[in-house]
Structure 1
């Protein structure tokens, strides 16, 4: 039993009725809120370890909840989203949400995202020194990337992009976040840059670049580095 506390913010009673027993059975303590106002109050008073947040709330937009929370808290936020609200989902991620899951969803997928968010929170205290996945090792102390023990030659931008993705392993990182962090604010809309560099990275680190196992595409949203 993990004992971690999850704040579930959703005004749909059936979602709350489904999530509370399922998350409790998985070992989590569950706090429930039906409005953005309640969510912000409980986030401040109950110190949740993860927030699961629906974007469609009766009193305020879920994106506003994300923005307000990010003003004072780094608690992981997982967005619940319907497929037809992709632009809002991306906006929430750009505002600081950590991940998203689309409705309808299975509890197995949700708990996996929760575990990833909790692991990432534990790593936030400091920069990672190395990560290894599918034969690829990234050593940030030596700025060295190897695949099956052989050095992978990366350009500075390729390296920066790979490290940024690895630093957020298991979480989706939006196109805008990647472009702004690696190329600067003036390039926040230059998706062509990003596609080219992700393609180059895959050619260098993936065993089968046509079917990537390390850098996964989140269609229309961004990319996700597989959690080791």
Structure 2
């Protein structure tokens, strides 16, 4: 990791995030106090599970993935945060004061490192920020509850179909997997062999074409029909 001169890019861009938008000047100063810009190369760890949670991050360029390791040593990637997103802000309020996951660069990235003390002080001084964080956390809990239900009620084929469709940029047919196929299998809760067989079957049926990370969805209607029964309406 390399610190960047703040004249190259400004931590103040953080204030455009929905959490912080409209913050009074005094609150903005609290949020940005001791902020640092870092350049991180692909695969570089920003923090590890169990380390003291002293900073949260705002992504200026590139991506940051958060993950855990399963008991058999596989990587379970939970999410990849992109430009303009904040991560690890909820860890700043956990009673154990430790990061619950690993975070590392997904490709080269530039991030703003923001301090736990500043965020907590800003919440005490500006109740609107506390309400926004509470709403954000509530929505996240709701999504996780739905995800647990989705995993228990869906088949491997339904999970894969839904995942591929969510990667589509608009109505385009081409998608690029952000994960390796082994990582994707762990993310979807299926065996790597099952994922490989599903992809091969759909290629043989003409539903998709491609290999490794690059695919074309030749029959998105088929995938949508497959995934629809396990999707919630809200």
TM-score calculated relative to the size of structure 2 = 0.35
Greater Rg over alpha carbons, structure? 2
TM-score calculated relative to the size of structure 1 = 0.35
Structure number with higher relative contact order (C-alpha < 8 Å, ≥ 6 residues apart): 2
